[in-house]
Amino acid sequence: MPGIFRTMRDGRSVARRTILLVLLLVGLGGWASPASAHGVLERSVPPPNASLPAPPREVVLWFNEPFDPAFSAATVVDQSGKPVSKGFSASEDRRRMTVSLGDLPRGIYVVKWRALWSFDGHTTSGFFLFAVGEQAPTQAAGTGAPGRARVLVRWLAYAAALLLAGSHIFLLFVLRPSGGTWDMESALRPLAVLAGVTLLLSTAAEFALAALELFENPLPQLLSGGMLWPLLGGTKAGWGALLRIGAGALLLLPSAPNGRMAQAAGLIWVLLFAGAAALAGGPSALLSAGSHSLPLLLTISVYLLLIVLTVLVVPTILGESLPDLPWIPLLTSAALLAGFTVSSHASGNGIVAALADWIHLLAASALVGGWASFLLVLWHCAPRERVSAARLILPHLSTLFGVSVLVLVVTGLYATVLYLPDVQAFLTTPYGRLLLIKLLLVFAILLLGAANRYGLMPQVATLVSKDQVRALRRLLGSITAEVGIGALILLAVAALTITPPARVRGETKAPSQERPLVLAGLAGEFQVRLAVTPARPGQNRFEVTVLGPGGKPPPPEARTFLWVTKLDEALDPQRIPLSPQEPGRYVAEGGQLGLPGWWQVEAVVRLPGWPDASTTFPLPLGEAPLRATDPEAARLLEGATRVMAQFPSWREVQQITDGAGGVVVTWYEAQKPDRLRYRTSSGTEGIIIGSTRYLRTGSGPWQRDTLPQPLILQGPLQPYAQGAEGIVRGREVPCGEEMCQVVMWEAGSASFAAWIGQGSHRLHQLLMVAPAHYMTLHSVVPAAQIRIAPPGSP
């Protein structure tokens, strides 16, 4: 860019130039950003390359942005390519796909998905593998690899559009003000024609490639399935293509009087139609607006008739005095570039981002088209005229470049702030690395531009004729190099637009740094700690540490695993095998806790020749809205509270963990109406009789104190069921010798899930979650012989 610093006098300080250079660098860095976009697969259940012990019922895919359900789908096929999915559904927020499956035999399966994003109309497809009952392959998983063809086509479309628009900007703002001849103007014509044709072809090819990604058999489906119009008129990809093709075709019209008239009329029509479509929410929405379509069609046909008449009649009347209409090609070029903005991620980020993207593209086209046009005009001149032509053109070109670079800096800075989360993202994300490559290229081009402006251009302007020619030749060579680097930058831009912005990647990386939930408990004589990271639905890492008596790890032949059961839904319980890492430490990773809701996790330690030792934890994941009470559930809870209240005395075991690795297990013996005896895993013993409490640690002396309120026992379930709201039924589970109904409710800040016998109404197990409290109450059994007396009494 030879003329960036035209307004600066050569004597200005070097420091100031350096600051400007740095600003330029950062600003231009954002050049491509507004045009880049993309939805990515955030997570899935099962996750990619998962090896599942049991066949999943469904595959759930979560995306970072909404997709268009009409053009998006996911399927599951087996290794031979045979589809095994039974149904597909999209969630209401259009960010989640669910594929339902039949019973899958052992084997490896491929999940294929494709999506058209609502924000920018871009298409992405991807696939990953999972295995049932065998080791999953670790390699293949792909997300939206659109291949070289799409990068190439996109690069061609960008380059052609920037050249086409840029040549018109050059014509209007540089060549004509600097007194360029008609001959010079005609030198630009081949460039415009070539760029225009390339633009039309590459746009069509880009659209076809998008269709190829969306449909397995694109052409027949597009034509016979009636999908062409919905895709063209109903998606941003289609709108962008329509606008680009329309404006590109108009720019190809000859500059003869008829052509100029046709271009003006066509532009008005395109703008009217695009404006109406924008108001209606897309061309297909506009035309399907029922009763409005007939008058619209009438208007269009009348207008078309008028255009034909105008084009044929007006030039014959006005002849040579027909105005030149120089602004028409410029406006058409602007409309053409808007065709890129429509299908860019910026259009999903609000009007300001879209405007910034559009202006950024205009400025970029002024630069790119300006270089190319300048070269073409000079090459077109006879060698002897070149110096004088350059001296005429360069001042105006400098102004244009100066303004363009300023605009690029402002819009680029805005886009960088909008899309790059932090400086580290330059190195840590593919997007950032591409951006860095582009920045280096921009830096190179800036160096060349500065050398031109401060080295060669003054020479062209001042030196004597022989040296002038040499300087001009070097200037031209330097500008050619700049054009070459510019093409490389465009290639980086094309690649950037198919790379998800760093901000998207940054969000998906976050969960691994989350603090784990650490549940601790006693499984027989083993102390078990279970760390779940992250403690939310999706892909989780499970880490279990087991300590036996005396703090020793269990023997190496011990096996540890988890049973996870969803309590609010009748999904099959899943076994998560844990692989030993070192003595007493076991690890697994998986998406078994994929769905939000009430989960129960049972950690099992199994030694050869021994019954299982296990401990159970409550694990509610995700936000659960308070639901209306189900009368049947309320009746069950009330029945259970009543049945349990009939025990005159009972035993129970209560385990409470704080979610950070702490645990207290308490063995209770209770005798109505006011006597309680307990022993905790930390070695404390207590006896409560009314409001008197006796406490001792180990075999120490008993301490006596008084409770603020006397103890009143009404039954094992009573204290938890008080004030229950949102009582609902969950799944049915076998328990003891009967079937249990899981009943869930909320009380205060705690959530409960109780296993209640369907026949006996006995409470088999109670889980509770409150802030920093994960409680499991089990082994609630009536015991008639319990007599609780103060310590020391016979």
Partner 1 sequence: MRRLILGCALFLVTALSQPGDLLAHAKLRRAEPSPGSVVKTAPDVVRLWFALSPNEELDPQRSTVSVWDRRGRRVDDGKGGVDLGDLDRRTMIARLKPIGPGTYTVRWKAVTFPDRGVSRGSFHFTVVPSRGP
Report the alpha-carbon distance of residue 196 to residue 213 in Å, rounded: 26
Residue 630 DSSP class: P
Q: How far is the CB of 66 from partner 1 (least distance, A)?
A: 29
Residue from 23, 25, 42, 53 touching partner 1 (CB under 8 A): that is 53
Q: How far is the CB of 668 from partner 1 (least distance, A)?
A: 25
102 interacts with partner 1 by CB under 8 A: yes
- Stretch 592-611 residues interacting with partner 1 (CB under 8 A): 606, 608-611
Report the alpha-carbon distance of residue 717 to residue 724 in Å, rounded: 12
Residue 121: left if φ>0, alpha if ψ -120 to 50, beta else—which one? left
CA distances from 665 to 520, 534, 614 (A): 10, 25, 14
Within 13 Å and on the Cβ side, how many CA atoms surround 305? Answer: 6
Number of other CB atoms surrounding residue 303 within 10 Å? 15
Nearest residue to 502 (alpha-carbon basis) of 442, 441, 422, 436: 422
Nearest residue to 25 (alpha-carbon basis) of 413, 502, 429, 488: 413
Report the alpha-carbon distance of residue 251 to residue 193 in Å, rounded: 8
Residue from 8, 108, 133, 729 touching partner 1 (CB under 8 A): that is 133
Report the alpha-carbon distance of residue 335 to residue 239 in Å, rounded: 12
CA distances from 679 to 372, 665, 695, 780 (A): 87, 8, 10, 15
524 interacts with partner 1 by CB under 8 A: no
Instruction: Go through 729-748 and write b for each residue having 16 or more CB atoms within 10 A of its CB, e for each that does not.
Output: bbbebebeeeebbbbbbbbe
- Binding segment for partner 1 among 53-61, 279-287, 352-360, 369-377 (CB under 8 A)? 53-61
- What is the per-residue DSSP string for 757-774? ETTT--EEEEEEEETTEE
Residue 775 DSSP class: E
Q: How far is the CB of 54 from partner 1 (least distance, A)?
A: 4
Strand partners, 739: 734
83 interacts with partner 1 by CB under 8 A: yes
Q: How far is the CB of 167 from partner 1 (least distance, A)?
A: 51
Q: How far is the CB of 135 from partner 1 (least distance, A)?
A: 13
Nearer to partner 1, 645 or 733 (CB): 733
Residues 6+ away with beta carbon under 8 Å from 388: none
Residue from 49, 55, 62, 197 touching partner 1 (CB under 8 A): that is 55
Nearer to partner 1, 12 or 86 (CB): 86
Nearer to partner 1, 499 or 574 (CB): 574
Q: How far is the CB of 123 from partner 1 (least distance, A)?
A: 24
Binding characters for partner 1, 301-340, by CB under 8 A (x = yes): ----------------------------------------
Q: How far is the CB of 106 from partner 1 (least distance, A)?
A: 8
Binding characters for partner 1, 559-578, by CB under 8 A (x = yes): x---x-x------xxxx---
Residues 6+ away with beta carbon under 8 Å from 631: none
Nearest residue to 339 (alpha-carbon basis) of 188, 162, 148, 114: 162
For residue 465, the Cα-to-chain-centroid distance in whole angstroms is 60
Nearest residue to 729 (alpha-carbon basis) of 654, 646, 642, 639: 639
- Size of site (CB under 8 A) for partner 1: 28
- Binding segment for partner 1 among 103-111, 243-251, 746-754, 773-781 (CB under 8 A)? 103-111
Q: How far is the CB of 540 from partner 1 (least distance, A)?
A: 18
Nearer to partner 1, 51 or 341 (CB): 51
Q: How far is the CB of 550 from partner 1 (least distance, A)?
A: 23
- Binding segment for partner 1 among 101-109, 200-208, 532-540, 543-551 (CB under 8 A)? 101-109
Number of other CB atoms surrounding residue 22 within 10 Å? 12
Residue 63 backbone phi and psi in degrees, to 5: -115, 160
Report the alpha-carbon distance of residue 44 to residue 684 in Å, rounded: 46
Report the alpha-carbon distance of residue 424 to residue 509 in Å, rounded: 13
Tokens matching residue 347 = 């259009």
Nearer to partner 1, 325 or 733 (CB): 733
Q: How far is the CB of 130 from partner 1 (least distance, A)?
A: 14
- Binding segment for partner 1 among 49-57, 363-371, 517-525, 700-708 (CB under 8 A)? 49-57
Nearer to partner 1, 250 or 558 (CB): 558
Residue from 103, 582, 623, 705 touching partner 1 (CB under 8 A): that is 103
Nearer to partner 1, 503 or 778 (CB): 778
- Binding segment for partner 1 among 83-91, 112-120, 494-502, 665-673 (CB under 8 A)? 83-91
Residue from 105, 662, 673, 683 touching partner 1 (CB under 8 A): that is 105
Nearer to partner 1, 725 or 738 (CB): 738
Nearer to partner 1, 734 or 792 (CB): 734
Nearer to partner 1, 9 or 106 (CB): 106
Report the alpha-carbon distance of residue 357 to residue 340 in Å, rounded: 9
Report the alpha-carbon distance of residue 651 to residue 648 in Å, rounded: 11
Residue from 23, 54, 325, 788 touching partner 1 (CB under 8 A): that is 54
- Stretch 721-750 residues interacting with partner 1 (CB under 8 A): 733-734
Residue 320 DSSP class: G
Residue from 84, 157, 187, 420 touching partner 1 (CB under 8 A): that is 84
Q: Omega into 48 within 30° of 0, i.e. cis? A: no
- Binding segment for partner 1 among 21-29, 50-58, 186-194, 203-211 (CB under 8 A)? 50-58
Q: How far is the CB of 572 from partner 1 (least distance, A)?
A: 7
Residue from 10, 93, 557, 705 touching partner 1 (CB under 8 A): that is 557
Residues 6+ away with beta carbon under 8 Å from 577: 53, 561, 588
Q: How far is the CB of 103 from partner 1 (least distance, A)?
A: 5
Nearer to partner 1, 102 or 719 (CB): 102
82 interacts with partner 1 by CB under 8 A: yes
Nearer to partner 1, 16 or 86 (CB): 86
Q: How far is the CB of 373 from partner 1 (least distance, A)?
A: 55
Residues that bind partner 1 (CB under 8 A): 53-55, 82-84, 86, 102-103, 105-106, 133, 557, 559, 563, 565, 572-575, 606, 608-612, 733-734
